[in-house]
Amino acid sequence: MTLDQLRIFVAVAERGHMTKAAELLGISQSAASAAIRALEEQHGVHLFNRVGRNIELAQTGHRFLPEAKAVLERAAAARNVLEHVSQTVAGSLSIAASLTIASYWLPRRLASFHEAYPAVRLSVSIGNTRQVEASVLDGTADLGLVEGRTESDILRRAKVDTDRLMLVVAASHPGITEIAPSRPDIRGLRWIIREGGSGTREVLEDLARREGISLADLRIFLVLPSNEAVRQAVEAGAGATIISELVVGRAVAEGSLRAVPIELPKRDFAMITHRDRQASLAQMALKAHLATEMSGSAPG
C-alpha cells in the first residue's frame, strides 16, 4: 500500500467517478484504475461497486475511507515537520482555483513564485467557488483561491487581491433604459450568466436582491460554464453579463464590448485554507509571495 494509492482511492471515493478523480490528480484514467485495482488485489478486498458509468463505495470502501484520509493527513503533517526542521521550502503544493483566478490572475504569480522557490512542485485544478471550497475541505487541495463567498466556518480566508467587475454588452447593443443614473433596468436586459456556484453569478444575484427582485425575475438567456464562452456570447450580441475586468478589459478597450455604467462593489480574491491542517513551508511561502504581489500592485 502506497501513499499514491491512498490519494487516488480518496479522490475517487470523494468524486464517485474515476475520470474526474484522475483529472484532478493530473494522471490518466487508466493509471487511476490500475492503482485502485492493485490496492484491491493486494489486500483481497472490494472497495467500489461499478454502477453504470459511475462507481460508488462498497461497504469495505466506506470503512476504509476515514482511515485512508487519516494516513494522508499524518503523512502531510510528517512532511511539514521535516520541512520546518530543515527550513527548506520544497515539496508539492496542490492549488484549487476558481476559473477567473486560474485563467487570468494566477499564472504570472505562479511563474514568479517558481523563480523564487524552484524546489516546490505546483499543481492547479480549476472549478467554481463551491468546487474549490469542497477540494480544500476534503484535503484534495492544500489551499484554494476564490472570488466568491465561502460557506464553511472551518476555512480561513486571507485577501490576496481585489477584482473590479463590469456590466458589458456588445458594441452594437441598443441603448439601455436607466431607472436612475448608473442604475440600468436589469429586468429589461437579456442575460448570459455562469453556472450556479460561480462568483460572478453571485454578484448578479446580489444585484437582483438590491433591486428587490430575484434571479428568476431576470431574462436568463444562456447559462455557460466558462468566462470565455460568456464573453464570446456577449460579443456576438446574445445579451448582457457581469464579469471580471480581467476577462473583458481588452475587449472593451478595443471596442467589441461596451461597458454599461453601474455601481458594482469590488470583490476580493481570497486564499482559503483548512483551519485544522498545519500549513507547510511551501504554503506559507506562497501566501507571503501573493501578499507581496498585492502590496506591490497598483490599487484598482
Q: Which three cell numbers stand for residue 212?
A: 428587490
Do 151 and 195 have their domain in common? no
In a domain, 128, yes or no: yes
Is residue 5 within 8 A of residue 39, CB to CB? The reply is: yes
Q: What is the span of the domain harbouring residue 247?
A: 164-264
Do 144 and 270 have their domain in common? yes
Res 87: pLDDT: 58
Is residue 205 within 8 A of residue 148, CB to CB? The reply is: no
Task: Give the confidence band of 298 by pLDDT, cuts at 50, 70, 90.
Answer: very low
DSSP sequence for 23-40: HHHTS-HHHHHHHHHHHH
In a domain, 300, yes or no: no
Measuring CA to CA, how many Å separate 128 from each of 18, 98, 132, 199, 260? 20, 5, 6, 7, 25
- Residues 6+ away with beta carbon under 8 Å from 32: 8, 11, 12, 18, 21, 22, 25
Do 124 and 182 have their domain in common? no
47-63 pLDDT, tens digit each: 888 877 678 888 898 88
Measuring CA to CA, how many Å separate 78 from each of 2, 10, 72, 143? 15, 19, 10, 18
Do 210 and 280 have their domain in common? no
Res 91: pLDDT: 83
Q: Please list the helix, strand and coil fractions of the chain in percent, rounded to the nearest 5, in that order.
A: 50, 25, 25
Do 107 and 245 have their domain in common? no
Whether pLDDT at 235 is above 90: yes
Structurally, the chain folds into a number of domains equal to 3
DSSP 240: B
- Cα(79)–Cα(216) distance, integer angstroms: 49
In a domain, 299, yes or no: no
Do 216 and 128 have their domain in common? no
Domain harbouring 24, CATH code: 1.10.10.10
pTM given for the model: 0.67
- CA-only gyration radius of the chain, Å: 22
- Beta strands 143-146 and 267-274, pairing class: antiparallel
134-180 pLDDT, tens digit each: 999 988 899 999 988 888 989 999 999 999 999 999 999 999 999 99
Is residue 167 within 8 A of residue 116, CB to CB? The reply is: no
Mean pLDDT on 257-283 = 90
CA–chain centroid gap for 23, Å, is: 14
Do 191 and 126 have their domain in common? no
Do 146 and 190 have their domain in common? no
